Amino acid sequence: MPNIDDFAAYLQNERRYSVHTLTAYTNDVAQFFTFISNQYKTEEAAEVNTPMVKSWIYDCMQQELNPRSVNRKLSSLNTYYKYLLRTGTLEKNPLATISGIKTSKRLYQWVEEKDMGKLLDFEIFKQDFGGRRDKLMIEMLYGTGIRRAELIGLKVSDVDLKGQTIKVLGKRNKERIIPIPVSLVHAIDEYLQIRKAQGFSHSNLILTDSGDAVYPMFVQRCVKNHISMVSNISKTSPHVLRHTYATHLLNNGADINAIKELLGHASLAATQVYTHNSIERLKTIYKQAHPKS
């Protein structure tokens, strides 16, 4: 199996991939070379041809992997071979003529506006440090559309209460400034005061009860528990609140290009999925209200 440490360093230092993405890409490449070693008795990248890659795709599908997961693996391997071409290690990419697997369009789930109102307006949060923190996490995710990793990495110094903005470090270390509503400014200010009273001085904004930085599963549990109180949607991850943020903005007339910038998307195509959500909503309204539906 080829040494992929240099590839990993390239992803981290030049492509600025997150640790999660870097791990996924290197694991995908390692799995591919384990497959061709078992099937074709070779571990040389230069000996890999297009039929070998196609047989790997077929094997993945036989394992009933989600087509999106298979496409992700293909993207990982394609990035690896492009890296080899870039460094002059190889002169040909065996994936050059291979297209991804067709997938159905995915309509993201989101929380209805009335349900978000219930969640944020009703007194379901305790008034102690933990309750204020949990409510702030929900408000931050819904009020800014930031990703879970961005929330976890947010520093106290990234918050400008006077300017009503936060500075977010997104994917590939790209910074963006996001405006925050007055209600969120007040929520952050109140949280910082009670946090100070706890004697916490960590540079990260959102902390656990013991004063440490929160971690992915901590945020996941908080969001799941609270969304489940007001909505019966099947998915209750922190990313659902990001979808909710974008969908509500679009439904209330926000420009899609502005939403793209707020979300930190690299291309408009990633943002346009929310137009499908809005179209489905309009279809539902039409079916319910129009006499000819």
Catalytic residues: 147, 171, 239, 242, 265, 274
Calculated CA dihedral for residues 265, 269, 274, 280, nearest 10 degrees: -170
**Cα dist from 4 to 19, 67, 175, whole Å:** 15, 25, 29
For 156-188, letters b (16+ CB in 10 Å) and e give eebbeeeeebbebbbeeeeeeebebeeebbebb
Closest CA to 156 of 219, 187, 210, 202: 202
d(CA 203, CA 157): 8
Strand order in the sheet with 175-179: 159-160, 165-169, 175-179
Of 68, 75, 56, nearest to 101 (Cα)? 68
**In this structure, which amino acid lies at residue 189?**
D
Residue at token pair 């990260």: 204
Residue of 171, 167, 148 lying closest to 237 (CA atoms):
148
Residue 139 CA, chain-centre distance (Å), reads 17
Of 167, 163, 142, 154, nearest to 239 by C-alpha is 142
Q: How far is CA 124 from CA 2, 101, 121, 207, in A?
A: 54, 45, 9, 20
